[in-house]
Amino acid sequence: MKILKIALLTFSLISIGNAQTDQEVLKTIYTQSLANGKSYDWLNYLSNQIGSRLSGSLGAEKAVAYTKEELEKLGLDKVWLQPVMVPRWVRGAKEFAFIESALGKTTNVNICALGGSVATPALGIKANVVEVKNFEELEKLGKENIEGKIVFYNRPMQPDLIQTFEAYGGCFNQRYQGAMEATKYGAIGVIVRSLNLRLDDLPHTGSMTYGDLPVEKRIPSAAISTNDSELLSAMLKLNKETKFYFKQSCKQLKDVQSYNVIGEITGSEFPNEYMIVGGHLDSWDLGDGSHDDGAGVVQSMDVLRLLKNSGIKPKRSIRVVLFMNEENGLRGGNKYAEEAKRKGENHVFALESDAGGFTPRGFSFDCTDASFEQVLSWQPLFKPYLIHYFEKGGSGADVGPLKTESNVLAGLRPDSQRYFDHHHASNDTFDAINKRELELGAATMTALVYLFDKYGVNPISTKKTIKN
Ligand SMILES: [Zn+2]
């Protein structure tokens, strides 16, 4: 085993030179990741030794220290922390809920408070339930049918959409704005069907907003598992007077100091052109955030390590950025873009991995048509690795604020069929990660970074590079 590793390393150091074809370089990158990768070990530590990393928590603080320390071991040119103030929301005691079909006849169900929600009164709330599928139904029912009741949003994710993120997008507003909308009609609480395509018992948390609502008007909001959503809906059909009880004790505390973690390989030819790869270091609190977004964090760290280990000396400055607070505030992403603007740093390329650690399929690109054509010309290079998805579209929440007219933003697109089984739930844990799938993602990201660094993001500079 050891001999094989040394042989691979020696092979890569000797053989990467200017004479190598892109095919050969990609082969080295994938070999390094699959035979000698580091992402899985890092994720094991992050998930199993540190655990969940909600902004402002001890886990988040430990994750900052750990990833900084690991990046420092890689021999990069610079590693530093970028301060950012983040919100701190705490769940408190485990939530409790039941359906009451008749006085004293109750069935316990699985709920969790949505991130940012207020608590219920100490004894919880119990009320009649109004089930709706969307805000239009809510409006039609009006105040006379909703006042004093709990609104139950039960629009399921659309199963026939192959891109499950589209199905997520189609249901997201129930969770995010559901409480705010229901408040307009005098509801006293909100229960939202978990954003999960399969039927199971796990509630899925996630961010929600009260907008500008004054504190005294804010109503508690919780997610309920898909199985229990079906149950509640069925019981309401049998008996409209079915009641729902829930109790939660979450709290919004004062903002706390936290950090984005950044490492850099300084460019050999164009040090003032920046290319970044990143994921978000924070996670929700129910699982350990292995898929969301521990995977993106360790893959991004490994991009810089893989470049170095494959003997690639980037022309542009390559940074790994581990963003803080994507889940409930995006403060890290905004802070990074603000600082980049203030310092006049030219960010020509930014890639985020925040769609899970499953088998990579390709990338989504937010860029000019000319840059996209350039990407398409590289498609054959990725074919041996079964990477085929190259589409225009979104990139990632954290890198979004870096958008300019000419730069390239991209998002890794892994297979998304199983992602929402785990997303923001207690089963987003390390055992749901496959080592090879994670490593293929890291290699695929590294390959794209290598190509953009070599040829530039502007097709004019591409032609120049090719002539040279
Ligand atoms: Zn995420």
Give the Å distance between the CA of 132 and the centre of ligand 1.
28
Which stretch of DSSP H or E encloses residue 219?
none
Phi-psi group of 289: left, alpha or beta (phi > 0 → left; psi -120 to 50 → alpha; rest → beta)? left
Q: What is the dihedral of CA 73, 74, 75, 80, to 10 degrees?
A: -70
pLDDT digits (tens, 9 = 90+) for 314-328: 999 999 999 999 999
Direct distance between the N- and C-terminal alpha carbons of the chain, in angstroms, rounded to an integer = 41
Q: For residues 381 and 451, is the Cβ–Cβ distance under 8 A?
A: yes
Pairing of strands 189-193, 150-153: parallel
Give the Å distance between the CA of 326 and the centre of ligand 1.
7
pLDDT (0 to 100) of residue 175: 98
Q: What is the pTM of this model?
A: 0.93
Give the Å distance between the CA of 341 and the centre of ligand 1.
24
Give the Å distance between the CA of 135 and the centre of ligand 1.
26
pLDDT digits (tens, 9 = 90+) for 97-151: 999 999 999 999 999 999 999 999 999 999 999 999 999 999 999 999 999 999 9
How much is the mean pLDDT over the chain?
94
Three-state secondary-structure class, residue 176: helix
Q: For residues 173 and 157, is the Cβ–Cβ distance under 8 A?
A: no
Give the Å distance between the CA of 300 and the centre of ligand 1.
14
Q: Residue 56: which of 222, 248, 253 has the closest Cα? A: 253
The pLDDT-based confidence of 85 (bands split at 50, 70, 90) is very high
pLDDT at 211 over 80: yes
Can you tell me the mean pLDDT for 223-250? 98
Largest CA distance in the chain: 82
Give the Å distance between the CA of 62 and the centre of ligand 1.
19
Phi first, then psi, for residue 324 (nearest 5°) are: -100, 145
pLDDT (0 to 100) of residue 8: 45
Give the Å distance between the CA of 260 and the centre of ligand 1.
15
pLDDT (0 to 100) of residue 19: 72
Q: Residue 247: which of 150, 146, 147, 133 has the closest Cα? A: 150
Tokens of 284: 């929700």
What is the DSSP track for 13-64? HHH-STT--HHHHHHHHHHHHHHH--HHHHHHIIIIII----TTSHHHHHHH
Give the C-alpha separation, 400 to 402, whole Å: 5
Active site residues: 326
Give the Å distance between the CA of 143 and the centre of ligand 1.
36
Give the C-alpha separation, 80 to 142, whole Å: 53
Phi first, then psi, for residue 110 (nearest 5°) are: -95, 115
The pLDDT-based confidence of 271 (bands split at 50, 70, 90) is very high
Give the Å distance between the CA of 354 and the centre of ligand 1.
5
Give the Å distance between the CA of 281 and the centre of ligand 1.
9
Give the C-alpha separation, 226 to 207, whole Å: 18
∠ CA 6-11-13, nearest 5°, is 95
pLDDT at 462 over 60: no
Give the Å distance between the CA of 423 and the centre of ligand 1.
8
* Helix runs in 128-248, H state only: 135-146, 164-183, 226-238
Q: Residue 192: which of 206, 213, 178, 211 has the closest Cα? A: 178
Give the C-alpha separation, 22 to 127, whole Å: 64
Q: What residues form DSSP beta bridges with 377?
A: none
Give the C-alpha separation, 79 to 294, whole Å: 19
